[in-house]
Amino acid sequence: MNKNLDFDYVDFETVGEPWNLYKLENGSLIKFKLVLVKVMPNKNDPKNYSLNTANVVGVESPRELRGDPTPPPTEGTYSDFEKKDLDFEAIKESWNEYKLKDGNTLKIKPAITVVNKTKSFDSHGEPIYVVHSQVLVKPPAK
């Protein structure tokens, strides 16, 4: 078996996965949640983990920014931007917390790095934003 395929999973219980809120320069509110999907321990350092996460993003926009719904892009990704690198302010940022079955507690938090506004609108007429983020990890505590 390939050594890269020789790993285990650590089951976990979610203590909290709060919504993080960001106010954009144009008045829209980005609601961002980081969801932990799976945890894999490093065989050489059991307190170091590889994580798989998923992002959930919602927007609440002022009426004047809404428009007629547009079809999704044919290539599967948005690339036609109205404005790139919008300024934003963190209104609420919280750590997610998980109790791992190996006895450790894991805390992670999203860090939004870039927000781009596309020229597209969702089925409700809300503007569609492309949000780039990174995952911050606090070292586990026993």
DSSP string, 74-124: TTSS---EEESS--EEEEE---EEEEETTS-EEEEEEEEEEEEEEEEE-TT
Non-local (6+) Cβ contacts of 5 within 8 A are: none
Give pLDDT, residue 76.
Answer: 72
pLDDT at 123: 95
10-residue mean pLDDT profile of the chain (142 residues): values are: 72 98 98 97 82 96 97 82 97 97 94 96 96 92 58
Q: pLDDT value at position 5? A: 67
90-103 b/e (C-beta count within 10 Å ≥ 16 → b): eeeeebbbbebebe
Contact 106, 98 (CB under 8 A): yes
Within 10 A of 24 (CB to CB), how many other CB atoms are there?
Answer: 20
| 139/49 Cα distance (integer angstroms) | 10
Closest CA to 112 of 59, 42, 37: 59
Burial of 53 (0-12, 13-18, 19+ CB in 10 A): middle
Q: If DSSP codes are grouped into helix, strand and coil, which group holds residue 65?
A: helix
**Per-residue model confidence (pLDDT) at position 4:** 63
The whole-number pLDDT of residue 2 equals 58
